[in-house]
Amino acid sequence: MTTAALGSAGLWTTAAQAQASTPTSTSAGPAGKPVILVLGDSLSAEYGLKRGEGWVPLLEKRLAQQKVAATVVNASISGDTSSGGRSRFPSLLAQHKPGYVVVELGANDALRGLPLSDTEANLLQITKAAQAAGAQVLIVGIQVPPNYGGDYTRRFEAVFSKVASATKSALVPFLLKGMADAPDATSLFQADRIHPTAAAQPQLLDNVWPELRKLLPK
């Protein structure tokens, strides 16, 4: 998926910030199950959706269907940045003791025009902290449209792969792959043209699942 395709779909062109929400656990789960902690922003926090429609609750259902013993904790907050995630992460790590951490942050950094070096440093610190605690990490990337400038879009996209490479973490290059470049792209996004609809959430999960499944117990 290219940023040109994303831009031509007319998406992610407004620097809108989602309203804050409270992180929730999708399931307490029986004791002893490994925890998958999702640390994200509105793309993972069910912004504009009914509870249970987002890709993270759908992940829990897929785990059950495939008989993978794991508990999902969704610690995503709409509007969060990589800095916010970094500041929240130590307490989340101590509380949930995850075996797996899915990091989906960075989109709001771009919308706010924050330095790419800060985004990279924050994601790197989150990943290293998770690994130091014994967790495996999956970095979930995002892209910005070409109106940010060709150089910026390339460097922003590279942040996620750089962090994944430096820490030997798993990587999903683009969370919105298959949606922003779809023929009916507009219908897959809410009225703000930023957040995917409920109908698009299975595609988000399908983008994340292959890399996450490789990390989970067989």
Can you give the pLDDT at residue 99? 98
Determine which of 6-20, 22-36, 201-215 has the lowest per-residue pLDDT on average.
Answer: 6-20
**Is 44 within 8 Å of 56 (Cβ atoms)?**
yes
Look up 42 and say whether it is catalytic. yes
Each residue's pLDDT tens digit, 56-88? 999 999 999 999 999 999 999 999 999 999 999
Look up 27 and say whether it is catalytic. no
Can you give the pLDDT at residue 148? 85
Please indicate whether residue 51 or residue 18 has the higher confidence score (pLDDT).
51
Which DSSP helix (H) or strand (E) runs through 65?
Answer: helix 55-65
**66/59 Cα distance (integer angstroms):** 11
DSSP letter at 31 equals T
Can you give the pLDDT at residue 204? 98
**83/63 Cα distance (integer angstroms):** 30
Pick the catalytic residue from 76, 82, 169, 195: 195
Contacts for 186 with CB less than 8 Å, ≥ 6 apart: 9, 10, 11, 193
Please indicate whether residue 185 or residue 28 has the higher confidence score (pLDDT).
185
Q: Is the pLDDT of residue 218 over 50?
A: yes
Give the residue-averaged pLDDT of 11-21.
37
Please indicate whether residue 144 or residue 204 has the higher confidence score (pLDDT).
204
Q: Is the pLDDT of residue 5 over 50?
A: no
Each residue's pLDDT tens digit, 149-198? 889 999 999 999 999 999 999 999 999 999 877 788 889 999 998 999 99
Please indicate whether residue 4 or residue 121 has the higher confidence score (pLDDT).
121
Helix, strand, coil: what percent of the chain each, to 5? 45, 10, 45
Look up 195 and say whether it is catalytic. yes
How many residues can be counted in the chain?
218
Pick the catalytic residue from 118, 181, 192, 206: 192
**Is 26 within 8 Å of 158 (Cβ atoms)?**
no
Pick the catalytic residue from 42, 44, 83, 169: 42
Q: Is the pLDDT of residue 131 over 60?
A: yes
